[in-house]
Amino acid sequence: MIKLICAVDVNYGIGFNNDLLFKVLEDMKRFQELTTGHIVVMGRKTLESLPKPLKNRTNVVLTRNENYEAPVGVFKMDSVDKILSHYLTTGEQDKDLFIIGGQEIYREFLPHADTVELTVINKEAKEVDAFFPYELLKQYFKISKAETHYSETEECVYSFVTYIKN
């Protein structure tokens, strides 16, 4: 399955200066639980925002820069079509393909996704320069389930919301 996973603020903001808007520990734990053992696809800026490639996952970076030197253990691909084709023809469908950001990568993969896992943080970030493509989400997906929780660290309510394709 092809899945997008992301944390958003109330305005569907996802980041500022290549960093997360909020650090909800429960969201980070859920991200790790859902993606471990699977394939994670990210853009170059998202990869570079990580201290190192995500362990126990196959890391794929999507970049049009043919001279980009991906870190050891990270596969570099230059198009959504190549990633999807490789995923669908290599026999790795026992693993999910998780799209983990950023903004343009979400926009490009959303029409191909089966599921979207959003953590909606009921808080407005002060500064945002990257957004989740909410208009596309509404076009292709409907809510399947939602669980609401409270974050002590961010002092706010948040929801794990699963969307499935219409």
- At 29, the pLDDT band (50, 70, 90 cuts) reads very high
pLDDT in tens, 66-116: 999 999 999 999 999 999 999 988 877 789 999 999 999 999 999 999 999
Give the angle subtended at the CA of 127 by the CAs of 11 and 60, to the nearest 5°: 75
pLDDT at 75: 95
Mean residue pLDDT of the chain comes to 95
In terms of C-beta density within 10 A (0-12 exposed, 13-18 middle, 19 or more buried), how is residue 20 classed?
middle
In this structure, CATH architecture of domain 2-165: 3-Layer(aba) Sandwich (3.40)
- Determine what percent of the chain is predicted with pLDDT higher than 90: 91
Which residues does 4 contact at the CB level (< 8 Å), separation at least 6? Answer: 98, 99, 106, 109, 110, 113, 115, 116, 117
- Please identify which residue in the block is written with the tokens 């650090």: 23
Share above pLDDT 70 across residues of the chain, in percent, rounded to a whole number: 100
Supply 110's token pair.
Answer: 């959303």
Q: Is 79 left (phi over 0), alpha (psi -120 to 50) or beta?
A: beta
